Structure 1
Amino acid sequence: MNKFAVGAVVGAISCTFALEAAATEWNVSVWGKRRAFTEHVEKLAELVAEKTGGEFTMNVSYGGLSKNRENLDGISIGAFEMAQFCAGYHADKNRVVTVLELPFLGVENLDQEVAVARAVYAHPAATEEMAQWNAKLLMTSPMPQYNLVGTGEPRDELAEFEGMRVRATGGLGKAFEAVGGVPTSVTATEAYQAMEGGVVDTVAFAQHAHLSFGTINQADWWTANLNPGTVNCPVVVNIDAYESLSDEHRAALDSSIPEAIDHYLANYAELLQRWDSVLEEKGVQKVEVAPEVIAEFQSVAGKPIHDAWIADMEAQGLPGQELYDLVVKTLAEAKGGS
């Protein structure tokens, strides 16, 4: 082979390596099935691929990479590059963001939920705690206030919560416990079986999850306005993977987050608009809890649980009061601008 042919072969090989080096493929661990809760992840993957001409792709796996309670562990060891998890699944690993799971914070809509989550995620304490798991907080998975579905007679008086076996995690679990309920933190994917088997009487979920995980199909009633709180479920990326991205690919990822969240919010709004028709279709009674019952619930499970959380965090060396005040301040600003 003459030197010109050799040069051509070497050049072709070098070009191939360059193309391979330019390509980035990430694995993303979520669970269940594609639903409103994962639409921002799907949109993010779509936008990043578009912006990079297909050089940066994300493979979104629904349970194929890890169990939902183990996603943060998987991120920490680099088993995959991106994952979604819920703070209540392992509150000891993500103490800072559990401030967003406190009951009766007063969040009224998903825009406000996004605002308070962004503020907490940007706090140095959140960044530092997640770094212990080699994780970077990328975006939240905003969910409306949770409400109960249950079997039998509706529970619309506080006395009826006594002994109620409820699927509720994090701060929500503590709220129901404060009024005599018996919370269990089975995962979302286990909730239907828990309800079907009589392990729980009621399940606290956002609307999309009652649909996706089938609990609405077991339900006789739904509390339309109890609104005790919600859970916080971040999407995180492995720090090493994030930092190894080229400038172009990192910019494509970062710049796509706002649009991914906007897509999520628009999609969820459509689901909420048709929720009443879903209840009617499935024969589920819509229960309106009396204002005085909600006020009583809030007095028992609101401020006392907030104060206990602050004290617990401060005792662990975390800025509990500062984080709580940040949520209150950000929420007031969000309401003022809405």
Structure 2
Amino acid sequence: MSDCNGLDRRRVLAGAAAGAVALMALGTTAAAQESVTWRVQSHWPKASASFDDSLQVLADQLKERTEGRFTLELFGAGEFAKGPEIYNLVRRGVVEMGTTSPSYLQDEAQTYAFAMGIPGSLREEWEMMHYIKNMGVEDLLNQELNPAGVIYFSEKVYPTELVVKQPITSAQDFESLKLRSAGTMMDYLSAVGAAPQMVEGSELYQALSSGVVDGAHWGAAQGAQSMSLWEVAKYHLTPALGITVDAYIVNKDAYEALPDDLRTTFTNLVNERFFLRSTEYQLMEQLALAEGQESQGVEVIELPQDVLDRFTEASQQIIEQESQRGELAQQAADRLRELMTQLGYL
């Protein structure tokens, strides 16, 4: 009798265990099938090349890879907030994600300038990719932003080049220019005597066409083309003022609340897209500039040597100035100088 009771108990326990496993499996399956929609406030106007070629592509591929379970609802510049306001919008969770420039993070992180790219320091896109990812500058920035509830992902590396309404033949020509700029690039342009000022992307064409500014940078050739800047500023200046970075910022709580599989897919895709988009951008720059020259009469002007000499001096001053912002900034500066030495730039 006792043996039978023992057998019955074992069967009951086994059945209960099997039921528990089934319930756990059901719970796991339900969690795995959870769908998520994030709102994304971009600093790019919808007219900007990066809105479609960076953000829309990310949204399309994320939806495809998750079989429609993870979707991004995209908003162009100013629909919820403009560039400098997006960080706080994301931090507070008003939207789960945003696009931004590190120049908008200058009040939030001492390393922002190094994540953006110090003007005149690195000369090729691959150098900046190596600096940001392999030398850990993105990690330094996240050490500052994560405790505030924001996760930073580099989106792409690209050149920054000016378009102006009049030809530049000397440093003296620069001294009369009002130029749209941002971040440490404003210090860089000031060193040559220009008068830089901040203008939002959504207001840039109007500012340039009305004479509020005489020139601007919005990326380089693709930015000028997609934002119609060449219509009113046909002189495109080379070489690049610097190599810089665009970024995605994500609300940390929203990121950690994602089901594991969606979080992994999102993270892998963003990191993968950084390298793909950065290299694609280089090709598209060449094509855009050639098209501008052929169809819009864009004239490419090489910056005069006296301007370049001033820029070189200003670049070193900016590195030193930014390194004084704190311990993490000093680490970023040391790594930049190390790379510049390896490349023969110092």
The reply to whether TM is greater than 0.5 is yes
Map 1:113-262 to 2 at 5 A.
Answer: 113-118=128-133, 119-123=136-140, 126-144=141-159, 146-152=160-166, 154-205=167-218, 206-225=220-239, 227-262=240-275
Runs of 4+ in 1 over 6 A off after TM superposition: none
Aligned twin of 2:335? 326
Counterpart pick for 2:37 among 20, 25, 33: 25
Alpha-carbon distance in 1 for matches of 2:137, 2:197: 27
Alpha-carbon distance in 2 for matches of 1:262, 1:308: 30
Deviation at 1:87, TM superposition (A): 2.2
What is the percentage of aligned positions where both structures have the same residue? Answer: 23
Alpha-carbon distance in 2 for matches of 1:106, 1:261: 18
Aligned twin of 1:5? none
Residue deviations 1:92-128 (CA, integer Å, cap 9, x gap): 123312123321112312x3332222221112xx223
Higher-Rg structure is 2
- Do residues 285 (structure 1) and 299 (structure 2) align? yes
Alpha-carbon distance in 2 for matches of 1:174, 1:221: 22
Amino acid at match of 1:86: S
Aligned twin of 1:101? 117
Amino acid at match of 1:53: E
Moved more, 229-238 or 242-251: 229-238
Contact 1:221 1:286 in 2 (8 A): yes
Alpha-carbon distance in 1 for matches of 2:246, 2:236: 23
Alpha-carbon distance in 2 for matches of 1:266, 1:164: 32
Deviation at 1:245, TM superposition (A): 0.8
Amino acid at match of 1:323: A
| TM-score, with length taken from structure 1 | 0.83
Contact 1:85 1:234 in 2 (8 A): yes
| TM-score, with length taken from structure 2 | 0.81
Aligned twin of 1:87? 102
Map 1:51-90 to 2 at 5 A.
Answer: 51-63=65-77, 64-90=79-105
Structure 2: unaligned runs, 5 residues or longer:
1-25
Structure 1: unaligned runs, 5 residues or longer:
1-13
Residue deviations 1:153-208 (CA, integer Å, cap 9, x gap): x1131121113111111111101111211110112222211111111111123222
Amino acid at match of 1:88: S
Calculate the aligned-residue CA RMSD, in Å.
Answer: 2.6
Alpha-carbon distance in 2 for matches of 1:140, 1:331: 23
Amino acid at match of 1:23: S
Contact 1:26 1:80 in 2 (8 A): yes
SS in 2 for 1:102: coil
SS in 1 for 2:98: strand
